[in-house]
Chains A and B, each alone.
Chain A
């Protein structure tokens, strides 16, 4: 794992590592960096689909709940309106859509990130605490087919980092 001082250096290093053929890479930064997402080819995720499904499920739940209650379970004449008075259902259908979609966005975020994860090997590196302050890290994982402890370390040194450290795991 190599430590850098600026986002520009990190993005350049990530590009170089991709070019070198490393694929099992991760970068750590104190704030989101758009270019880094490009450099690591991370643009696609399933979250929008999950949120869409959550929203559809919520809308159906809201509408069907009201339909079931007002038409089947507890039919009652209110102001002479038909039992299936759909204009009155719009609001709750809408609110349930938003509620379910928002909950699936948050659960989806946690699920896709694999959080909560109280332990991760990177936390073993003492200087990694700075990843949430002002330092930028590039990590080449041992699972990478090209990974070789000496060669990878040498490669990381060529990127002119502030420091290279080994992640115990």
Chain B
């Protein structure tokens, strides 16, 4: 017996689902998190933190509406500052969710089944946070609808040759498609909740949201086609979104921005920070809710490997950035890199290099990858590093461009920080609301992982 018990964690480390689960226990374990009346303290603390920071965000935005963007540290020539840094950071985080739900589905990576639901939710909420910044940064956020082409009495239209307008379309399409994909994935699980709950109100609400899903074989066959098609559509979409975000920079002629390798570099960076966020969310969640049997050490190991791989791509991009600046023989490009490394932003630059290139090298070691605490710390380090990366790209390039007479250093104000931290609050608020009200792991997809789910064909049939 003792030997068997010792073997258990070893087996769990190698499989994507711990042994001993049945269709019933899987369903109950995931559904209970939502349907129980008892909520763990951890949830109240996290949700409360989110709520407090969300209030801070509302305060900062309220003041912004009254006084204008001058309350941020935006001064000529650095007119993008924190707002665009945060926009790129958040939207990058969202990318891992789509990668897990769409690209890994197409690649038939079945380990994704137990982490795709909350990763998609993370995408959705990260995109919501990202969307705040360009709109608030407009100066007159109440006129945000001017970004879309619509028949108007002013007789003007958006400039379709501008990457900023492309961004409007890319991000709004991304948000819509992510929402649709997430909802389609939820439908069968909402039906499960409808059938499991004893509360009339909950049954009614989940029933309406499940749209009468009853698990019919006819429906499942169409459903499988639909999810494959959506995955096929979301895959090029997710790659295009960060490519378009990088166009915001590369199409401008600012030294340090104007280069052709930004799109792949940005996409890799997005997935890098996104997987860091997946780990930062999954590690505490699985220990609080006792889900180690469903989100196993194998998942953490795989996510860490993806992080390591994309981190190396990002490291390569940093080297190429420096090399190509030197190779251009363009004095402004030389200067841009030189200022980044040894100028006023050197602290941010070298911190980002340590966070994004040096620290993640620890992930080569299996001992680090199998230790959830170390993984959690390294994912936070990567998140900080990726934020610094966008900050350095945006702020240092704008602060010192062609004309030394207009150089100026960016100083973030307390409202810059309040808005940024506030969106983290918005994210936590939405995410923990989701954890409490919807199944955080896709129940029906986990059922398909069980050995019992295989149909045993009789010989000669």
Chain B residues whose CB sits within 8 angstroms of the CB of A95 once the complex forms: 166, 169-170, 173, 237, 240
Indicate if A122 sits at the interface (CB-CB under 8 A): yes
Q: B170–A91 contact, CB under 8 A?
A: yes
Chain B residues whose CB sits within 8 angstroms of the CB of A32 once the complex forms: 220-221, 223-224, 444, 448
Chain A residues whose CB sits within 8 angstroms of the CB of B24 once the complex forms: 133-134
Indicate if A35 sits at the interface (CB-CB under 8 A): yes
Residue ID in chain A nearest B442 by CB atoms: A31
Residue ID in chain A nearest B212 by CB atoms: A117
Q: B207–A118 contact, CB under 8 A?
A: yes
Q: B457–A35 contact, CB under 8 A?
A: yes
Q: B27–A134 contact, CB under 8 A?
A: yes
How many residues on chain B are close to A (CB under 8 Å)?
69
Q: A40–B217 contact, CB under 8 A?
A: yes
- The complex places the Cα of A70 from the Cα of B162 at a distance, in Å, of 12
Known A33-B217, A109-B223; contact A8-B456, beta-carbon cutoff 8 A:
yes
Q: B225–A45 contact, CB under 8 A?
A: yes
Q: A92–B233 contact, CB under 8 A?
A: no
Indicate if A88 sits at the interface (CB-CB under 8 A): yes
User: Which of A70, A74, A130 is within 8 Å of B155, CB to CB?
Assistant: A74
Show 11 residue pairs from A and B whose CB-CB distance is below 8 angstroms, ordered by the A residue.
Answer: A33-B455, A35-B455, A45-B222, A47-B222, A81-B161, A88-B161, A91-B169, A102-B181, A115-B211, A129-B196, A132-B215
User: Which of B22, B191, B219, B455 is within 8 Å of A113, CB to CB?
Assistant: B219
Looking at chain B's contact residues, the main secondary structure is: helix
Chain B residues whose CB sits within 8 angstroms of the CB of A130 once the complex forms: 195
Residue ID in chain A nearest B445 by CB atoms: A31
Chain A residues whose CB sits within 8 angstroms of the CB of B161 once the complex forms: 70, 78-79, 81, 85, 88
In the assembled complex, the CB of A45 is this many whole angstroms from the nearest CB of chain B, namely: 5
Q: B23–A134 contact, CB under 8 A?
A: yes
Q: Which of the listed residues A8, A89, A132 has the most CB atoms from chain B within 10 Å of its own CB? A: A132
In the assembled complex, the CB of B242 is this many whole angstroms from the nearest CB of chain A, namely: 13
- The complex places the Cα of A131 from the Cα of B24 at a distance, in Å, of 11
**Stretch with Cβ within 8 A of B (4 or more), from A21-29, A142-150, A151-159:** A21-29
Indicate if A17 sits at the interface (CB-CB under 8 A): no
Q: A129–B213 contact, CB under 8 A?
A: no
User: Which of B220, B225, B240 is within 8 Å of A91, CB to CB?
Assistant: B240
